[in-house]
Amino acid sequence: MSLETDPLILAPFQIEPAFDERIWGTPDLRPWYDHVTTAGETPIGEVWLTGDQCRVATGELAGRSLGEVFAENSEAMLGPGIPDWIEGQSPLLLKVLFAKEKLSVQVHPDDRLAQKYGFPRGKTECWYALAAEPEAAVAAGLLPSVTLDQIEAEVADGTLEKSLNVLPVVAGDMIFVDAGTVHAIWPGSVLLETQQNSDLTYRLFDYGRPRELHVAKAIEATRLKTAAGKIAPKVFADRTVLIESTYFSVEKVSVEGTRTGSSLQCAPGLQYLFAAAGSGRIEPAGAAKFDAVELPTRGVVAIPASSPAWEVVDVGGLELIRIAPRFPVAAEGGA
């Protein structure tokens, strides 16, 4: 049976990025992406790599939105036996963040709090620093002894920054931000964000911008102590595990010439391949048959759980990041 007639088999496919406007973003994404905004337009802060609105760029599903693909091909994308609460939905959202100004000081709810307010899931995330200037920094969590009453008072008088746990950022850092963590991103770095597929954000403080704050919900969501912070990599001969969390794993994979998918030592299921530098190509391996798929610089190729055997070819200078969802038995309260 061919790929075209078997709904349970999906070949790898490239995803088109979507450029998301943010007032703290940058008008010129070069050399990362060939995208420049014109005068008067809101700058781009986030490049969504796997958003529900992103379009499939190659193969039999070309032109379909990623949200449609998951809704109509859930088992082929994710594999059998996935939890009921994720069926038919894309589990992860991957972004590249470009902050020219400070983001708001914010917090994301966990699954239980999100569901209390009618949303399917909360937002646990991580940031991998693709690049960083000398003064780059983020805030991840609160300093010891800070209280919720103190946070409310500092939000009111504009001094909340003094209670944040500030971390310097260098290229290659992995920073975990579990749901409930008060956090912020400041200018100077380009970050690859892996997160639950949710855009729920409760703003505590926004540096005077004319945007809505959500102080009461942010306080409700805040955990004074979380697991947030820098994660030390686990280095193996052929790969480096950057993080393994409840909801996702992120690895940097060595590719010298060609690497088969079966050699990546990963659990069965959906994988996203991101070219942090250089470029590659996904080709059929062994007796498998499908059209080769290009993996451009800073692009993403989805490898469905049902994909035929495949291999990745280093076309030139490929720095490969492999990202895969992980599923707790039920939607949980955090990482």
Q: How confident is the model at residue 3 (pLDDT cuts 50, 70, 90)?
A: low
Q: What is the DSSP letter of 219?
A: H
Outline which parts of the chain fall under CATH 2.60.120.10.
13-230, 234-325
Model confidence pLDDT, tens digit, residues 215-233:
999 999 999 999 999 999 9
Candidates 55, 121, 203, 239; catalytic one: 203
Question: 234-325 adopts what CATH topology?
Answer: Jelly Rolls (2.60.120)
Q: Is the dihedral of CA 313, 15, 97, 323 positive or negative?
A: negative
Instruction: Please say if 259 is a catalytic residue.
Output: no
Model confidence pLDDT, tens digit, residues 253-288:
999 899 999 888 777 899 999 999 999 999 999 999
Question: 13-230 adopts what CATH topology?
Answer: Jelly Rolls (2.60.120)
Model confidence pLDDT, tens digit, residues 17-43:
999 999 999 999 999 999 999 888 999
The mean pLDDT of the chain is: 94
Q: What is the CA radius of gyration of the chain?
A: 20
Long-range residue pairs from 327-332, CB within 8 A, at least 24 positions apart, any chain: 327/82, 327/83, 327/86, 327/91, 327/247, 328/83, 328/246, 328/247, 329/83, 330/83, 330/85, 331/85, 331/111, 331/112, 331/115, 331/120, 331/121, 332/110, 332/111, 332/112, 332/246
pTM over 0.75, yes/no: yes
Share of the chain above pLDDT 70, in %: 96
pLDDT for 335? 37
